[in-house]
């Protein structure tokens, strides 16, 4: 479908992403958030910006280099977007460091958590740090003097490096005036001083400070005029020609080798770096002044992420909690018996991810289970679920795993899991070339005996909005549904057959699937609400997702608004739709929730003349999710569970007046503040009702 609405109806994707990070940074600035958690939010912004530069900014620069002038839905070409992005990123980074230096570091120091500068080191600290340098650092450092025999070294993406200004000549009479010292990845970037030399509380020293203090030891007989930390960010998008490739796994392994050394995109230097050295570094990386970022502090704030875990101060962190369990699972050990009677809905992280692990573990050891099929998008490098699947294959189960090799920044972990699964005889497939497999499904086939003694095969399925990743299940909000509903299981089985075999896509019974039916079904559901509104009936759409960008969907929402449909959108991240414009979108409200947990669940609710159709999905409303991915959107059929999804997944977020941001027609966001009446925080309320303090 082609876009027909004017450019003025759409907001820019890249600027929307940066606006989201503004909201995350606001959490770091919020003094109602525990202090160490504020530091975590600051680190999250740095991590997000790194990936943004590696992928999105790198892509813009590539388009500009290729003289691409094609515009996006908002009418801006790559050069226009790049200029706007650079301005906003600089502003965002400046605000980050201002917040760190003027608020967070002084606040942490008041709590006895200090980051010791060289000028503040006591005599015992100096001695301990000197001993640490000679014992732990010097043996693994390799200074590289720059001369014709030692050209500028390859610098890894996002690695910590030091450019050293030198004067004098070495033992061979050489003097280029400069050297590079690369910080080995094995060395910690932040070192906690032991209690014997630290003050009361917690004292930390940056690796960069230690190297600055002792860099002269690496260049005997020469004068060190300056030592400047720097970091280069490279294009990290992988390119695999999916039309030419014959073996996706081998092709990807080859491409991963080059990720660390892609084209340079950004250079970060300490603010004290000399102009001469800055010009030299820019020249070496083929960058210009627009790619340079001078920062007042560590060139990588993400290295501060270790601090909250090293500091035992519960009073400066979010209160711990114990995820709850649905009532149906509290006293039941036979999960299959429970699912034979009723569906089970899990709401993470408020409810435990353990039942999902037990679902697969029980299948792996149950002699009645014949086959296990599962999709893998992100699981992490250390995954209990993957180990269980490996064990199931060893036990002789028919294990089929659809591994998405192109899951960005998880490619290497997924390659390793694929290799281990294949070693034990599991069937490993890599989905469909050209379409990422983003659906979250696990299907179990079990041989069971009914009351009459007749044995037959019965299927059970787990469908979810989030990945099979136990760690993120404690940090992201997601829904998972376990069911033995025959038609839902048949839908999942049909999709697995598509992914592992060949043949046309058949019509599914309940599920909507990308790239075949999801877009058409969502459009049809929106149009249905518009028809109902035109007939004078109540009409409402409530949708929760991470991003909303697909132009046709946006146009359909505008049309529904004009027909009188009340539309409430909870979009955590990027939203390309403009709400509240008279005559266009006056019936649309957009809000974003940013809090302790990353809002990740996708919920689509259509009033449908009182039927209240409610779907959970792995997909956002973006072009890629509709047309370039395998996605799954499934209805919640059980009336009680449907009410739960509405009650837990939508209504609290619409009422939130603490962590909600309301979007205006220009793409700006205003934080909602409690007025008269009760303070409402969706995440806090769900923790209170579904979990227990630990």
Active site (catalytic) residues: 438
Q: Which of 104, 216, 208, 212 is nearest to 167 (CA)?
A: 216
Residue 411 tokens read as 């490619």
The three-point CA angle 76-80-86 to 5° equals: 130
- Give the C-alpha separation, 60 to 85, whole Å: 10
DSSP SS3 for 687: helix
**Bridge partners, residue 267, by sequence:** 232, 292
* Burial degree of 609 (CB within 10 A; 0-12, 13-18, 19+): middle
In the structure, how many helices (H) and strands (E) does the chain have?
A: 21, 29
With contact defined as beta carbons under 8 Å apart, do 269 and 281 qualify? yes
With contact defined as beta carbons under 8 Å apart, do 265 and 282 qualify? no
Q: Where are the beta strands (DSSP E) in 70-221?
A: 113-115, 143-145, 161-167, 178-182, 190-192, 202-206
Sign of the CA dihedral running 352, 28, 55, 625: positive
What sections of 593-691 are H helices per DSSP? 623-627, 639-644, 651-655, 682-690
Residue 597 tokens read as 């947990």
With contact defined as beta carbons under 8 Å apart, do 487 and 506 qualify? no
- Give the C-alpha separation, 397 to 619, whole Å: 30
With contact defined as beta carbons under 8 Å apart, do 22 and 89 qualify? no
Q: Which of 344, 343, 391, 341 is nearest to 366 (CA)?
A: 391
With contact defined as beta carbons under 8 Å apart, do 582 and 602 qualify? no
- Give the C-alpha separation, 266 to 527, whole Å: 45
- Measuring CA to CA, how many Å separate 13 from each of 46, 195, 572? 19, 48, 13
Cis status of the peptide bond prior to 235, with omega within 30 of 0 = no
CB neighbours of 111 closer than 8 A, spacing ≥ 6? 35, 201, 313, 316
């Amino acid at each position: 479908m082609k876009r027909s609405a004017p450019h003025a109806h759409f907001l820019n994707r890249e600027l929307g992403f940066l606006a989201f990070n503004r909201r995350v940074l606001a959490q770091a600035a919020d003094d109602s958030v525990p202090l160490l958690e504020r530091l975590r939010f600051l680190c999250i912004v740095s991590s997000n910006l790194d990936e943004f530069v590696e992928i999105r900014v790198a892509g813009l620069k590539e388009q500009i280099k290729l003289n691409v002038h094609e515009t996006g839905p908002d009418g801006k070409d790559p050069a226009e977007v790049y200029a706007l992005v650079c301005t906003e990123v600089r502003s965002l980074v400046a605000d980050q460091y201002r917040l760190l230096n003027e608020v967070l570091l002084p606040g942490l120091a008041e709590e006895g958590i200090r980051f010791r500068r060289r000028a503040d080191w006591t005599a015992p600290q100096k001695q301990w740090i000197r001993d640490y340098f000679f014992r732990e650092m010097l043996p693994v450092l390799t200074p590289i003097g720059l001369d014709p025999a030692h050209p500028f070294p390859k610098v890894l993406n996002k690695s910590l490096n030091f450019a050293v200004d030198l004067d004098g000549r070495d033992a061979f009479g050489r003097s280029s005036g400069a050297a590079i010292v690369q910080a080995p990845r094995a060395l910690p970037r932040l070192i906690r001083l032991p209690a014997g030399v630290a003050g009361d509380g917690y004292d930390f020293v940056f690796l960069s400070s230690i190297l600055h203090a002792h860099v002269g030891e690496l260049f005997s007989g020469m004068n060190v005029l300056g030592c400047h930390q720097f970091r280069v960010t490279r294009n990290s998008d992988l390119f695999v020609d999916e039309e030419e490739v014959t073996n996706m796994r081998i092709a990807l392994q080859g491409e991963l080798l080059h990720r660390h050394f892609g084209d340079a995109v950004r250079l970060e230097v300490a603010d004290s770096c000399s102009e001469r050295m800055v010009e030299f570094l820019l020249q070496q990386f083929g960058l210009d002044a627009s790619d340079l970022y001078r920062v007042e502090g560590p060139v990588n704030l993400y290295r501060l992420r270790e601090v909250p875990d090293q500091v035992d101060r519960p009073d400066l962190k979010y209160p711990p909690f114990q995820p709850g369990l649905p009532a149906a699972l509290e006293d039941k050990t036979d999960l299959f018996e429970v699912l034979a009677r009723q569906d089970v809905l899990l709401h993470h992280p408020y409810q435990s991810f353990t039942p999902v692990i037990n679902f697969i573990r029980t299948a792996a050891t149950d002699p009645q289970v014949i086959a296990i099929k599962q999709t893998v998008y992100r699981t992490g490098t250390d995954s209990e679920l993957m180990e269980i699947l490996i064990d199931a294959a060893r036990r002789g189960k028919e294990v089929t795993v659809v591994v998405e090799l192109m899951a960005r920044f998880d490619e290497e972990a997924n390659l390793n899991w694929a290799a281990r699964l294949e070693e034990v005889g599991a069937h490993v497939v890599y989905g469909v070339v050209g379409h990422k497999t983003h659906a979250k499904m696990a299907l179990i086939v079990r041989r069971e005996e009914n009351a009459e003694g007749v044995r037959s095969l019965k299927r059970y399925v787990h469908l979810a909005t989030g990945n099979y990743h136990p760690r993120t299940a404690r940090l992201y909000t997601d829904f998972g549904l376990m069911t033995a509903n025959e038609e839902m299981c048949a839908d999942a089985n049909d999709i697995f057959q598509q992914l592992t075999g060949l043949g046309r896509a058949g019509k599914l019974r309940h599920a909507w699937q990308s790239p075949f039916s999801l877009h058409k079904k969502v459009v049809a559901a929106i149009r249905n609400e518009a028809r109902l509104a035109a007939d004078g009936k109540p009409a409402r759409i409530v949708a929760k997702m991470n991003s909303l960008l697909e132009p046709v969907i946006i146009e359909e929402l505008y049309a529904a608004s004009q027909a009188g449909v009340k539309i409430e959108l909870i979009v955590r991240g990027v939203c390309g739709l403009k709400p509240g414009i008279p005559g266009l979108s006056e019936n649309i409200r957009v809000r974003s929730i940013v809090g302790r947990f990353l809002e990740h669940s996708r919920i689509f609710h259509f009033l449908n003349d009182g039927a209240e159709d409610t779907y959970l999905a792995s997909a956002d409303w973006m072009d890629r999710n509709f047309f370039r991915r395998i996605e799954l959107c499934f209805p919640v059929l059980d009336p009680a569970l449907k009410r739960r999804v509405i009650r837990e997944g939508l209504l609290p977020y619409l009422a939130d007046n603490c962590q909600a941001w309301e979007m205006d027609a220009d793409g700006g966001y205003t934080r909602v503040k409690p007025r008269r009446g009760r303070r409402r925080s969706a995440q806090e309320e769900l923790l209170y009702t579904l979990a227990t303090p630990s």
